[in-house]
């Protein structure tokens, strides 16, 4: 399987090369030259462990990895770090099936990909005779930072540096990052906002003088952001696994169609469901759920992508996004893999903030349904499901549940539906408690968690216990203008 940039500037890369590069030189995203079919029947998959299903999926994409290499990556990623041997269990509540993707180290779905990406990177480096140390630089508004630190924690040959806005992440997220024990992990608060952090990181990547100075010292910089193909591929596996679980639990007949509903931000998670569908999983509709930043809802409704609108801060911050980067991959497919057309649309997005797709492209993406939920609907959804079943959702998952309920009302479609459950309610306790009718201050981090534990009756995740007792190890605060200096200090002392 070879990889091509969606913008045509780079073609014919091996998977390991695409993983090492992350983004193509022309600014495009790497795509496999085709979406491969599963070689194993769904029935056989329904008898396999998560790790074995994962192998059956990933081996079709990372074809330059040996079986031994892949199994090593999978077994190193999906081990006791996850609090359940099922890794991604499927839980039935209120006629929907919640695919819980939050049993990893940071109790949110990004752990699913960020647990394995470091192992893909180290293996890719070895395969391509890269002997330099790989240093991951990332800017975070809260969630990705800790997930990346935890993923790369003590992975030999790597080091990770995270920049987050000082005072700009939740108290719990800050504690999560500052207590990370991995010896090769670093976090710095910058005196600026998230945009300053992101711009600063981009500047470092673009500073040739600085990167060649690092290269001379045996260091190459890389990023772990969600456009890396090494993050997309492992996400396909859990959709295959969700279908396998429905089969093994006797909830569906072999071959029965299901729908999938995904709370969406950067469009990575739902794109993975689309890949699973085209690998042969009987998925009918892909329900793309947005919060009040409803740019994708409007796009699927009208065929016009328009980012020129106010940015709204919601209770589902990981979905507060106006440019969904991974949508470029679907656009590329919908143009019949035309790099020229894709580049043109992305240029329009950059320069005007808007593009329109053709009727043929609309037809191509017709199995997506876009919907959004207001903040009131999200809070009401958390409360209603808790009252009916006792099950407590986080606000991101609740966006999906609210949109799913609206979809059923509107269409009458009763197809069994898997809802991607992307975070533990513990991670967003203050808003969850607000939905349930109690109010807490952001400073009462553990008080509100204790109360949620009482109310939900679910065990407190290890990720919370770790933060309660861990020592604070990361104390750096720096100016936006000193980010390069901070990187050097972290790496070389």
Which of 412, 417, 421, 413 minimizes the C-alpha distance to 382?
421
Pair 220, 94: CB distance under 8 Å: no
Q: Which stretch binds ligand PLP (CB under 6 A): 262-270, 355-363, 401-409, 476-484?
A: 262-270
The verdict on 329 binding ligand PLP (CB under 6 A) reads no
Question: C-beta of 99: minimal distance to ligand PLP in Å?
Answer: 12
Helix (H, G, I), strand (E, B) or coil at 95: coil
Task: Confirm if 111 and 150 have CB atoms less than 8 A apart.
Answer: yes
Q: Is 110 a catalytic residue?
A: yes
Q: Which of 110, 127, 401, 434 is catalytic?
A: 110
Say whether residue 263 binds ligand PLP (CB under 6 A).
yes
Extended beta strands in 18-177, E state? 30-32, 90-93, 96-100, 133-139, 158-165
Nearer to ligand PLP (CB atom), residue 10 or residue 328: 328
Q: Does 294 bind ligand PLP (CB under 6 A)?
A: no
Determine phi and psi for 63, rounding to 5 degrees: -75, -10
**Of 7, 396, 401, 434, which one interacts with ligand PLP (CB under 6 A)?**
396
Chain centroid to Cα 260, Å, comes to: 16
291 part of the interface to ligand PLP, by CB under 6 A: no
Encoded one letter per residue, x for contact with ligand PLP by CB under 6 A and - for no contact, window 116-155 reads ---------------------------x------------
Applying CB under 6 A, among 59, 105, 110, 434 the residue interacting with ligand PLP is: 110
Rounded to a whole number of angstroms, the minimum distance from the CB of residue 16 to ligand PLP is 23
Q: Binder to ligand PLP among 140, 179, 269, 424 (CB under 6 A)? A: 269
Coil, strand, or helix at residue 147?
helix
Q: Give the ranges where 369-472 is alpha helix by DSSP (H).
A: 375-389, 395-411, 429-435, 445-456, 462-469
From the list 3, 267, 369, 391, which residue makes contact with ligand PLP (rule: CB under 6 A)? 267
How many helices (DSSP H) and strands (DSSP E) are in the chain?
Answer: 22, 15
Q: Please name the residue that has the structure tokens 């890369």.
A: 13
DSSP structural state of residue 25: T
For position 170 contacting ligand PLP by CB under 6 A, the verdict is: no
**Could you say which residues in the range 20-79 bind ligand PLP, by CB under 6 A?**
none
Query: Active-site residues: which are they?
Result: 110
Q: Which positions lie near ligand PLP, rule CB under 6 A?
A: 108-110, 143, 226, 263-269, 318-319, 396, 422-423
């Amino acid at each position: 399987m070879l990889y091509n940039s969606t913008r045509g500037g780079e073609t014919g890369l091996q998977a390991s090369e695409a993983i090492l590069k992350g983004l193509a030189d022309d600014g495009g995203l790497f795509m496999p030259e085709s979406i491969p079919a599963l070689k194993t029947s769904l029935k056989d998959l329904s008898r396999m462990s998560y790790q074995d299903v994962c192998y059956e999926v990933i081996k079709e994409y990372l074809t330059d990895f040996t079986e031994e290499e892949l199994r090593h990556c999978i077994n190193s990623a999906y081990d006791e770090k996850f609090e359940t041997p099922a890794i991604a269990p499927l839980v039935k509540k209120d006629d929907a099936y919640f695919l819980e993707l939050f049993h990893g180290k940071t109790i949110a779905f990004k752990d699913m990909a960020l647990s394995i990406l470091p192992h893909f990177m180290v293996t890719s480096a070895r395969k391509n005779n890269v002997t330099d140390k790989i240093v991951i630089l990332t800017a975070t508004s809260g969630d990705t930072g800790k997930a990346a630190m935890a993923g790369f924690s003590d992975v030999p040959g790597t080091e990770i540096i995270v920049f987050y806005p000082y005072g700009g992440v939740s108290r719990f997220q800050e504690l999560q990052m500052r207590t990370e024990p991995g010896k090769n992990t670093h976090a710095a608060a910058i005196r600026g906002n998230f945009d300053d952090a992101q711009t600063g990181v981009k500047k470092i990547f673009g500073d040739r003088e600085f990167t060649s100075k690092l290269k001379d010292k045996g260091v190459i910089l890389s990023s772990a952001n969600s456009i890396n193909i090494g993050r997309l591929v492992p996400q396909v596996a859990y959709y295959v696994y969700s279908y396998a679980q429905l089969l093994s639990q006797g909830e569906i007949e072999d071959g029965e169609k299901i729908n999938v509903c995904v709370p969406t931000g950067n469009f990575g998670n739902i794109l993975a469901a689309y890949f699973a569908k085209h690998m042969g999983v009987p998925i009918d509709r892909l329900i793309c759920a947005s919060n009040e930043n409803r740019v994708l809802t409007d796009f699927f409704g009208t065929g016009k992508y328009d980012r020129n609108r106010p940015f709204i801060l919601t209770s589902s911050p990981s979905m507060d996004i106006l440019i969904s980067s991974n949508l470029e991959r679907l656009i590329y497919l919908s143009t019949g893999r035309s790099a020229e057309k894709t580049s043109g649309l992305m240029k329009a997005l950059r320069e005007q903030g808007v593009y329109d797709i053709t009727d043929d492209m609309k037809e191509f993406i017709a199995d997506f349904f876009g919907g959004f939920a207001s903040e009131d609907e999200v809070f009401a959804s958390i409360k209603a499901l808790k009252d009916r079943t006792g099950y407590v959702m986080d606000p991101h998952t609740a966006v999906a549940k609210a949109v799913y309920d609206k979809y059923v009302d509107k269409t009458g479609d009763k197809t069994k539906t898997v809802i991607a459950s992307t975070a533990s309610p513990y991670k967003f306790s203050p808003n969850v408690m607000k939905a349930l009718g109690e109010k807490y201050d952001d400073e009462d981090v553990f008080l509100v968690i204790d109360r949620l534990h009482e109310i939900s009756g679910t065990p407190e995740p290890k990720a919370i216990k770790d933060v309660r007792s861990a020592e604070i190890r990361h104390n750096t605060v720096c100016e936006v203008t000193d980010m390069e200096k901070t990187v050097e200090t972290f790496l070389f002392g």
